[in-house]
Structure 1
């Protein structure tokens, strides 16, 4: 339906800690009623890190709002400049982390919207 849309002010939205890593995020999927994707905004303070994981089914898009941010994909660790986007296929191990002195903000979108799709990767 053309008029079936939602909008929120991300700056004013409630942040909740991730069950696996404790990293604060805004669940845009829940807030906006998304049914075909799982978008979240993640705020990483210095020293924060998401779990090193892979997805079973979800392809994910990572976009850096503020950075440069840091990510680990497989065995490679890299800086990701502000405004950059990365696509990661389901089985590829990944981890967003902040080993800098600056705040990082990411938009991460997974599709299809599979609940509890992430799996920890053994180091």
Structure 2
């Protein structure tokens, strides 16, 4: 895994999407090895989000339902298809599907396809985003001759 950083950024390369399944970790609650998952908060030194890349093998399910106390999650499906369930609602998902779940939503997913289901999960404290998009940005001039920000 490649990484570079300074005081203003941390850059990490976890490798190609097709190799997400080579990552694994010990789940902090179950104590079991989870293959095809890599958390980015600590790797990137993030302070406002937890992001994970995930790969679920064909014809398998996540294996548990869960909720959160304060954090909402947004799931972004990059590859594959299956079903996502929130409370009693179960609906199909596929490449391009995006699902946001409130903390109290009981959630899980399954891969019903013959290919790997690859998705990103972004977790952040609900209602914590005070400014977003262009509201939180300011343009900074760059002088290409001086190769410096002015």
* Same-fold call, TM cutoff 0.5: yes
| Greater radius of gyration (CA) | 2
1:34 aligns with 2:31: no
Can you give the 5+ residue segments of structure 2 that lack an aligned partner in the other structure? Answer: 1-5, 126-150
Can you give the 5+ residue segments of structure 1 that lack an aligned partner in the other structure? Answer: 113-123
1:16 aligns with 2:24: yes
Equivalent residue in structure 1 for 2:75, among 62, 67, 78: 62
1:95 aligns with 2:73: no
- Deviation track 1:1-55 (CA, whole Å, cap 9, x = no partner) reads 9842323134267611462473520112222121110000110002242421111
Equivalent residue in structure 2 for 1:79, among 89, 92, 96: 92
- Deviation track 1:94-121 (CA, whole Å, cap 9, x = no partner) reads 0022233221011001113xxxxxxxxx
- Deviation track 1:78-105 (CA, whole Å, cap 9, x = no partner) reads 1112112111100000002223322101
Work out the CA distance in 2 between the residues paired with 1:89 and 1:6: 29
Work out the CA distance in 1 between the residues paired with 2:112 and 2:26: 19
SS in 2 for 1:30: helix
Query: Which position in structure 2 is the counterpart of 1:4?
Result: 9
TM-score under structure 2 normalisation?
0.64
CA RMSD, 1 decimal: 2.4
Deviates more, 1:14-23 or 1:91-100: 14-23
Work out the CA distance in 2 between the residues paired with 1:53 and 1:18: 17
